[in-house]
């Protein structure tokens, strides 16, 4: 699964990776549920947009986040009330990132590790997005979920081989994920574990474990540094 990730690169680096129009966006070293991430949608592939991490379905009574919608299991998404309509109507998106965290809990402690890619500084998770509109005023809430698949060996070692990992798309698959003519089965076939030999992993400080302190996001540059290098 993926409940925390990072997007720390400069606007110049983001533009080099994705030639789209970007909004103002501050680096986030600990991007947590309900916070804004950057996504590129199939509907508007020429711009990156801010949306809230953690999908709120359009039919929800309010914007209270159900934490089970942070991630969508790719194997069953096409049969779920929450995700199937989004796939059918091509509400697909690229969730921009440069790393993500997972926790090793085998010892009883939550020991965080950060995963990055060897072949790209900035990459994209496969995502789905939704737009919620209030029945009582003009409020609109756009949000997204990150697709998951079975863990590769690199991610599985941190937790266990049955663990999940986010779907990381290669460059050719990114274009296909946003292809509005792709069938649902074809889209879901793109949700594969990323190659082990293209991933890096290292332990980081447990200070990253806390998403917020007194409702203020816990977001510090040193979180992404290897343990003991701060």
CA distance 131 to 60: 10
CA distance 8 to 167: 19
pLDDT digits (tens, 9 = 90+) for 63-113: 998 889 999 999 999 999 999 999 999 999 999 999 999 999 887 789 999
Q: Residues 7, 10, 16, 21: is their CA dihedral positive or negative? A: positive
Cβ neighbors of 156 (< 8 A, separation 6 or more) are 162, 163, 165
Examine the pLDDT at 49 and tell me if it is beyond 80. Answer: yes
- Right CATH number for 5-100+118-195 from 3.40.50.1360, 3.20.20.70, 3.90.1680.10, 1.10.10.10? 3.90.1680.10
Q: Which residue carries 């005023």 as its tokens?
A: 137
Whether 184 and 78 have beta carbons less than 8 Å apart is answered as yes
- DSSP for 128-189 reads EEEEEE-SSSS-EEEEEEEEEEE--HHHHTTS-TT-EEE-EEPHHHHHHHT-TT--HHHHHT
Q: Predicted confidence band at 136 (pLDDT cuts at 50, 70, 90)?
A: confident
pLDDT digits (tens, 9 = 90+) for 13-41: 999 999 999 999 999 999 999 999 999 99
The whole-angstrom distance between residue 147's C-alpha and the CA centroid of its chain comes to 8
pLDDT at 229: 64
- Element housing 204 (H / E): none
- How many percent of the chain have pLDDT more than 90? 86
Catalytic annotation, residues: 2, 102
Whether 38 and 7 have beta carbons less than 8 Å apart is answered as yes
Q: Which residue carries 């402690």 as its tokens?
A: 109
pLDDT at 230: 55
Examine the pLDDT at 115 and tell me if it is beyond 70. Answer: yes
Examine the pLDDT at 130 and tell me if it is beyond 60. Answer: yes
Whether 53 and 37 have beta carbons less than 8 Å apart is answered as yes
CA distance 15 to 223: 24
pLDDT digits (tens, 9 = 90+) for 99-109: 999 999 887 78
Rounded mean pLDDT of 131-158? Answer: 93
* Average pLDDT across the chain, whole number: 94
Whether 48 and 96 have beta carbons less than 8 Å apart is answered as yes
Examine the pLDDT at 56 and tell me if it is beyond 70. Answer: yes
DSSP, res 122: S
């Amino acid at each position: 699964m993926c409940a925390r990730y990072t997007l720390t690169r400069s606007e110049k680096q983001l533009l080099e990776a994705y030639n789209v129009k970007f909004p103002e966006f501050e680096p986030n070293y600990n991007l947590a549920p309900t916070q804004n991430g950057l996504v590129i949608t199939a509907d508007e592939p020429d711009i990156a947009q801010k949306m809230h991490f953690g999908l709120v379905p359009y039919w929800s009574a309010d914007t209270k986040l159900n934490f089970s919608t942070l991630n969508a299991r790719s194997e069953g998404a096409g049969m779920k009330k929450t995700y199937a309509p989004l796939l059918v109507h091509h509400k697909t998106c690229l969730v921009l990132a440069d790393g993500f965290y997972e926790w090793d809990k085998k010892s009883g402690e939550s020991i965080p590790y950060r995963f990055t890619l060897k072949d790209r500084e900035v990459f994209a998770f496969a995502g789905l997005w939704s737009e919620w509109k209030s029945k009582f005023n003009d409020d609109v809430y756009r949000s997204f979920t990150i697709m998951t698949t079975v863990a590769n060996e690199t991610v599985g070692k941190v937790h266990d081989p049955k663990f999940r990992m986010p779907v990381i798309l290669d460059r050719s698959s990114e274009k296909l994920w946003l292809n509005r003519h792709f069938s649902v089965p074809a889209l879901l076939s793109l949700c594969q574990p990323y190659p082990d030999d293209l991933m890096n992993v290292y332990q980081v400080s447990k200070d990253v474990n806390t998403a917020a302190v007194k409702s203020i996001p816990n977001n510090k540059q040193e979180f992404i540094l290897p343990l003991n290098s701060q």
